[in-house]
A and B are shown apart, each in its own frame.
Chain A
Amino acid sequence: MNEVLIQQWQLVAGSSWPLLLSVVGFIVGLWIYNRSGKVSLLHPLLIATPLIYLTLNLIELDFNLYYQGNGLLNWLLGPATVALAVPLSQQLRQLPALFKPLSIALLLGGLFATLIALVMVKLFGLNDTILLSLAPKSVTSPIALGLVEQLGGITGLLAVATMVTGLAGIVVAKTVFQLTGVVDERWQGFILGVTAHAIGTAKAFETSPRCGAFATLGMGLNGIWTSLFLPVAVGLFVS
């Protein structure tokens, strides 16, 4: 028990002033994003991170020192993941007679989303480290990050991968829904949640609260489902 507690505490205790760089960078990113009328490509992270990168270069601060100094933020990802249970629980309570089709769509859809990505990684001849870093890319970032740490991938690469996946998901979703004849906004939301996690969910809330609720459901359930089968699925693909 002590070991776990000490590990957690060390993460938090490493926090120092570089944390301010993250906070200021994020506030600037949020401000620009809101002023732009919430354009997806001006996501606060896409503005904050290059600014911080430039600052680190300017003040000649090593990335590892910066990262350690942000221990509190990294640690908070744990409780933030746990917090996802709250909206998920609220949506599960209202789960109507859709239970059966929803389960099938989740189990097969979630599995397919991961397998097709792993197959493509192999087709493009990418190595195992990259495979391990991309494997949970459809999963919401806090859970995906935990999975990559466990699998031994590169967290920085995963962060980009989830971002690209989410953005790609919301850009093509409308066309895919038209081509496959998905008109029910509940199902549209669910697909967005499963394949494009939080970015897809935010987009779904723009359609309607109902669409967003189903996206929340898809995102949360797929996070759990993917975590369960991922170690096995990855094992089939690493050489």
Chain B
Amino acid sequence: MKKLVVGLLVLVFFHGLGELGVKWLGLEVPGQLLGMILLLVVLSLNNPLLMWLESASSQLIRYIGLLFVPVTTGAFFLSPEVGAQFPQIAAVLIGSTVVAQWFMGLLIGAVSKPNE
């Protein structure tokens, strides 16, 4: 329980740091992404912080679906104009995903040696 609270506070701290950093440096990335990168850098220094973060981060990621409920509900309130274009939108999404996977499959065949 202690680890969960401390871990959550550390995550909130890095989120805040990211938001401030983006504003101060005038970067074109979301604040939470900068926070994530900063935390990644700190953790890569083989920091004992990792031990304190495991519980909070795994719980948060496990139930991340809940955090998406409000924004996904917003999909039912899109304008009729957007709704009318949904067949094209779906075609773009499905088509581009298939082509991207196929491209990566070929690319990996070219750059990787089997059983390396």
Contact = CB atoms under 8 A, between A and B. Distances in A.
Interface of A: 1, 3-5, 8, 22-23, 25-26, 29-30, 43-45, 48-50, 52-53, 56, 63, 66-67, 70, 73-74, 76-90, 92-93, 97-98, 100-101, 104-105, 108-109, 112-113, 116-117, 120-121, 124-126, 129-130, 134, 137-138, 141-143, 145-147, 149-150, 154-161, 163-165, 168-169, 172-173, 176-177, 179-184, 187, 190-191, 194-196, 198, 223-224, 227-228, 231
A124 B91 contact: yes
Given A146-B31, A150-B28, A113 B100 contact: yes
Given A77-B67, A80-B64, A89-B44, 7 more contacts: A67-B74, A74-B70, A81-B30, A88-B40, A113-B104, A137-B93, A163-B72
Given A81-B32, A134-B89, A155 B71 contact: yes
A195 B12 CA distance: 28
Contacts of B33: 81, 143, 146, 223-224, 227
Given A66-B70, A84-B61, A124-B88, A227 B30 contact: yes
B94 interface: yes
A33 B50 CA distance: 31
B92 interface: yes
Counting chain A CB atoms within 10 Å of each CB, which of B44, B58, B93, B107 scores highest? B93
- Secondary structure class of chain A's binding surface, majority of residues: helix
Top 7 A-B residue pairs of the complex, sorted by shortest distance between their CB atoms: A146-B30, A180-B105, A156-B74, A83-B57, A113-B100, A81-B32, A117-B96
Given A97-B116, A184-B112, A79 B73 contact: no
Contacts of B96: 113, 116-117, 120, 137
Contacts of A150: 28-30
A104 B111 contact: yes
Contacts of A1: 20
A230 B56 CA distance: 30
Contact of B61 (A83, A183, A228): A83
6 contacts: A8-B19, A67-B74, A73-B66, A108-B107, A154-B74, A165-B97
Report, as a range, how many residues of chain B touch the other chain.
35 or more
B10 to A, nearest CB: 9
A49 to B, nearest CB: 5
A135 B73 CA distance: 20
B15 to A, nearest CB: 4
